[in-house]
Amino acid sequence: MKKKYVVAAALALFVASASAQDIYKVGLLTSTDLNGDARYVGMGGAMSALGANISAMSTNPASTAQYRRNDFSITGGVLTTSGKADDFNFFGQNKTRGSLDQAGFVYSLPLQSGSMRFVSLGFNYRKTKNFAELAALNHVRVGGLMSQTLELTQLARTTKGDTPLDLFNVQDRKNTIPLVNGAADAFLIEKQFSADSTQLVGYLPAYAAGYNYGKVQWGSNQ
């Protein structure tokens, strides 16, 4: 009986929560960048089918069979964000980054006899995806008539639209949609009172005046 408890406790240590990714995360995680040596990138990755290319080893290892001599290759890349120096603020980070896109070698060993004429041994590193980035927003206005929080303030009224609802009153909360109640709870909309602060006259949208935006994805030749 004690053994069962020990096994159950051991299995509990490996329990972890799992959640599905949204469509944007799936696209980010499953897509690949076109990185490799100059010939591989120039052919749009088609060297995987033609062979005799070090970068093609990552997608088609059998392509090294076409080698008849030794080969070594290393490729780097640089990404520089364009724009004026004062257009972006990256918290002191450099906007220019280098990258090791691919590196590898192939050793082709000729055989003296037999039906097998050559044996190729190789190693290749090729960067397939780059996730390193730094982002910030810059001068993006989010207020105005198209503001979603402004639309929520309009829904925080009675059906006729002449009387504001008290979204902190249980009965009034039943007269609007849950999204409006959630906005009030999260302070995305805030109460607006009369001049003498005695009467609720409506709600004001709580939005930021703007953000700073910029992006650097360091280490890429794209």
pLDDT digits (tens, 9 = 90+) for 103-128: 999 999 988 777 888 899 999 998 88
Which residues, in sequence order, are CB contacts of 176 under 8 Å at separation 6+?
155, 156, 165, 167
33-50 average pLDDT score: 84
What is the predicted pLDDT for the residue at 108? 92
92 or 4: which leads in pLDDT: 4
53-74 average pLDDT score: 89
pLDDT digits (tens, 9 = 90+) for 153-173: 888 888 776 789 999 899 999
Alpha-carbon distance of 61 to 48, in angstroms, equals 9
Alpha-carbon distance of 54 to 52, in angstroms, equals 7
135-142 average pLDDT score: 55
CA dihedral over 183, 185, 187, 192, signed as positive or negative: positive
Distances in Å between the Cα of 171 and the Cα atoms of 13, 66, 168, 201 are: 46, 78, 9, 18
Q: What is the DSSP string of 131-175?
A: ---EEEEES----STT-HHHHHHHHSB-TTSSSB--TTSHHHHTT
Alpha-carbon distance of 218 to 132, in angstroms, equals 6
What is the predicted pLDDT for the residue at 70? 93
What is the predicted pLDDT for the residue at 139? 52
| Tokens 């006899």 belong to residue | 113
Domain ranges of the chain: 22-139, 148-205
- Both tokens of 175, joined, read 């007269």
Nearest CA to 165 out of 181, 185, 149 is that of: 181
What is the predicted pLDDT for the residue at 155? 86
**Mean pLDDT over the full length of the chain:** 75
Of the chain, the percentage scoring pLDDT greater than 70 comes to 64
| Tokens 């989010």 belong to residue | 142
Pair 214, 90: CB distance under 8 Å: yes
Name the amino acid, one letter, at 58. Answer: S
Nearest CA to 79 out of 54, 50, 99 is that of: 99
